[in-house]
Each structure stands twice: as C-alpha cells, then as structure tokens.
A and B are shown apart, each in its own frame.
Chain A
Amino acid sequence: MGQTLAEKILSEKAGRSLHAGEFAVVPVDVTLVQDGTGPLAVRQLEAMGLAGPHRPESTLVFLDHGLPSPRQELSNDHLFLRDFARLTGCRLYDCGSGVCHQVVAEEWASPGQVVVGADSHTCTGGALGAFATGMGSTDVAVAMGLGENWFRVPESVRVVVSGELPAGVYAKDLMLWLIGQLGADGATYQALEFDGEAISAMDMSGRLTLCNMAVEAGAKTGLVGSDQVTREYLAASGREWQWRELQPDADAEYASRIEVDAGQLVPMVARPHRVDNVAPVSEVAGTPVHQVFIGSCTNGRIEDLRIAAAVLRDRKVAAGVRLLVMPASRRVYLEALRAGVLADLVEAGAAVSPPGCGPCAGVHLGILGDGEVCLSSTNRNFQGRMGNPNSSVYLASPATCAATALYGVITDPREVV
C-alpha cells in the first residue's frame, strides 16, 4: 500500500512502515519553544528529571511573542530563557530575530524532517516537506529531553488545486476559502496535503501561508511535496544540501480529496470571531476599520510586503486608520529595507515594528480599543485575540489589507491594483 507524505516521513523516522491510525514513538530532528511556552517547557523538563536537551544544537529558543518586552514579568521570562539557552547550549533567537516559524523556514526545516514546536503554527514548516506540528510545553519538553515523542499517524486530506490564481488573489485567499469549506474542526487529527498545478507554480512564501493555517482547520500539519521550488528556496539560504525530492506515492490512501480550480477563487476574508466564518471580500466591502496589520508567520514575508508596497506606493493611508507593518524576520526586514519596500510603506503612513508576534497574539504593539475593528494578515480572529474582548478582527491577504488601509474600509484589492 502506498504512503502519504505524513506516512512516509514518520515511517522513515520510526524505522518501520506506518499507516494512518497507528501510534509510534518517533525521533524528532528540531524542537522549538517561544517566550510564551518556553518557560513552562523548561520547568517541565526539570520536573521530569531530564538532564537537558538531547540535541541542544537543534533545540531552538525564540524570544518573539513579547519582544521588546512590554512588562517586567515578560522581561523576567526572557532572562530565564536566555539563562537556559546559555547553560544548555541551545540556539537562542533573541529580540529582532523574527517569528519562530519564519526563522525555522529560513534556517531549519527541510524535506523529511520531524519538527515539533511549542506553538500551534509550527505546522508552517510542512511547506518544506517536513512533518512539522505544534504541541504543548510538556510534550515539547519530552521531545527536547528524550529526542523523541509519540505520534498518531494522521489520515491525510488531499487538496488538489488546479489552474492559476487570478490577479489579486493569493495563497491566503485559497486557504481562507478552504477553511471555510472544511470548518474549524474539519481536518482535526488529520494532515492537509497540498498538490496540483497551482501548488507546483506557487512560491515558497505562498506554500508557507497555506501550511501555516492548516491548524485553523484543526489539522495536525499541512504538507507540500518537496520539488524544485523547495530546492531553490533551500539553495537561496545555502541549504541546498538539505534538499531531497519527497512526494507521496501515487497509490497512497486519503481520508478525502478536495479539488478546487484556483481560477475560480476571489479575495476572501474571515469575519469575527471565527476563522471559518469566511466570505468573499465583496460581501463585507465598505466595513470601516481602525487598524490594519500586515505581518506574522502567515503573511509577513518579503513577498507580502512587496505586494502591500505595490498597492500603497505614492499613496497615503486613509485618515483615521493605523497601518502596522511587522516583517516576519530579520532577514525579511533587511531585504525590505534594502529594496526600498519599507520606505514605500512608511511614506504611505505605515508604522513599522521589529519582527515578532505581538499584535497577532494580543501581547503588545497593536492592542485594539473597545469597539475597534482590525483587518489583519494574520491567522486567528478569536474574540479577544488582539488583546481586547470588546474588539473585532477580520483576516485577509496583504493585498486586501493594503487596499483597505488606503480607503479605511474593507476594500477588494482588485479595485486598486
């Protein structure tokens, strides 16, 4: 019987043939924690009596959610994690390094790996053909300390995307549409495996957006087979040696199959307060917003910032609207600086913050006021998500965000590009 990508990767790591539904203890290549989940993971590691990280060189500690620190409590958590990294030899990514998932894509994830992170969007790494999944602090502490953890091999949903995305329609719109189809629990315990000509043609940035949001349909991970796009992405950061081709078998068995013609898709939004509460942008066009946020592990890459800058260049953000821009990593920030992308955005009226997760997770740098509305390029819009239960968040692509910033009301990007 053939294997899906998830079955293939987990079988290879476990050293025996595994299929969906089976349980296995599997070695883990890369583990990560961030400043919200890391302190608990470190305390659990100690409570379990484990000496320290099994492989410190691939145990990653990110200070990304609350950096630069807005409060002394967080500053002390950061001290705690810095000490842990120094004492154990783990890799520390301090202030300004970037959102963990973006850095993992740039520097760590590669085809065939198993990546476990104490952050639900760890599934982002599946875009590079890694089995990457989010777990809680204790589970990640086990993976750190023992170099392995248990997995239930997931069933997979085959998502076949044919055709070509129309102008003004992006991976984010495809993913919001898919989450609307599946529902927020439609792929629970499963893997979403993306394929089709639109995926083959999609750059790594778009693939990362798709896999990032797999968890919003309940999925354990999202996966894209490793191909020449993967190879070029790895090569661009000096990691071509980590490339290998990795595709599912032609006779692999899937729990279900979803086919979509990319050419039929339109710009989408997720309305408050659920990610699966999706609609075409046209249905909510004209809704006033107070804040627009472009950033995050979902859509804070250079490609996203270029799209936003193309919309906003030589124009001004509407009066009464705050446009917040946060490059997803130092690498993205530098590239955007050097290419003049940030200059375009700042001239249009954007406020640029250092790489991190603050506004998306409701920690700092963009908390909403009572009754305020934000259109965001991020991945979640649960009640209170951006720090205030009396506010509302809509989710959309960077293009829709930029178009909306121009007019101060939710705007279809096809009307401005």
Chain B
Amino acid sequence: MIVEGYAHKFGDGISTDHIAPGRYYHLRSRLDELAKHVLEDADPAFAAKLRPGDLVVAGRNFGLGSSREHAPAIMKLAGVGAVLASSVARIFFRNAINVGLPVVICDTSRIIGGDLLKLDLEKGVVANLTQGFLVRISPLPPVMLAILGDGGLVEHVRRHGRLALEV
C-alpha cells in the first residue's frame, strides 16, 4: 500500500476528544456530518485544509483517551490517507487498522507541516519528497497486517466468516 500526500503536523497527546469532540455526541450515527469537525479541537481549520490522501503527522501518544472508533473513522472519511506518529495509543491503533486507516509508528520529528510524503507500507519507509530523506517505520504485527490487507476488520470477517489470523 502506498499513500502519497502532504503532511499536517500535530504535537504530542492528541486525544480522541480532539479528533471527535464530545459536544458532537449526537452525530455519532452521522459520520458524514461528524467528519466536518474532524480534529477540530486540535486545529479548527483542519477539515477545510485537508486534501484527500494527506497525512496526519503527530508526536507521542496519538489517539489517547476514549475508545470511540468514530475518531479514526471520520479521519478516513474526511480523506486522511494515513497517520504517522512517534507513538500511538492502544485502542486508537486497533480502531484505525480495523477501519482501514493505516497508522504507522516512526520518527516524525524532522517532518514539518506541508512536506510531501510518500508512505510505502510494504517497503516499510516514509519518503520525505520535500526535504529528501527516508524514515524507517516500525513494522505492524502480522495480525494487524492481515486485517489491513483485507481492507479492515469488517471485510476480514466478511471474507473469512471468522478471525483468520496467524496467532
């Protein structure tokens, strides 16, 4: 899988409350409406600036907090191509893979907002085409690769009728 797009840079500790604020709780069954507010409490202009395929680039512990799968779901729906972070909170990590949003752990410190990035999941690298350097990514566990490879957890179960994971 290859994702190419521009970087939107965020800091450490972006919570699911930043991504899908609780005040829009009533939109949980209207993901298209909720997606208009994606990451609003971290950057109110984010949804307007985002172009399809762009990458969210963050620091430590991205996606901490609530289990709301709506957070990665609306990121994907809004057009985010992938998330790069120096570390990712556990539930968000599973949720993102489950909804088919690639999440990659790598050193994001040298990436700046607006850099053109090319993520190659198979090769395990992010190419910074603007600054001209490569960053190696931490490989996903095989279980998550299998789910992502099927296009997410719903597709995985639909296809196999069960959890067909090498454990």
Contacts and interface: CB of A to CB of B under 8 A. Distances in A.
A383 B41 contact: yes
Interface in A61-78: 65-66, 70-71, 73-74, 76-77
A49 B95 CA distance: 19
Contacts of A382: 15, 17-18, 65
B99 interface: yes
Contacts of A65: 25
Interface string A360-404: 011100010000000000001011111111000000000000000
A48 B21 CA distance: 28
B22 A387 contact: yes
B134 interface: no
A367 B66 CA distance: 18
Given A25-B165, A220-B90, A382-B17, A135 B67 contact: yes
A385 B19 CA distance: 11
Interface stretch (B2-10, B50-58, B117-125, B152-160): B152-160
A149 interface: yes
A49 B17 contact: no
The range of chain B's interface size is 35 or more
A298 interface: no
A218 B152 CA distance: 24
Main secondary structure of the interface of A (DSSP, over half): loop
B87 interface: yes
B22 A188 contact: no
B28 interface: yes
A365 to B, nearest CB: 12
A155 to B, nearest CB: 12
A115 to B, nearest CB: 13
B98 A362 contact: no
B13 A274 contact: yes
A265 B157 CA distance: 49
A39 B41 CA distance: 24
Interface residues of A, number: 61
Given A25-B167, A142-B163, A152 B141 contact: yes
12 contacts: A23-B167, A39-B28, A40-B69, A48-B154, A135-B95, A136-B95, A138-B152, A150-B165, A184-B64, A361-B25, A380-B66, A389-B41
A25 B163 CA distance: 8
Contacts of A189: 90
B30 A384 contact: no
A324 to B, nearest CB: 16
B158 A49 contact: yes
B67 A150 contact: no
A387 B23 CA distance: 5
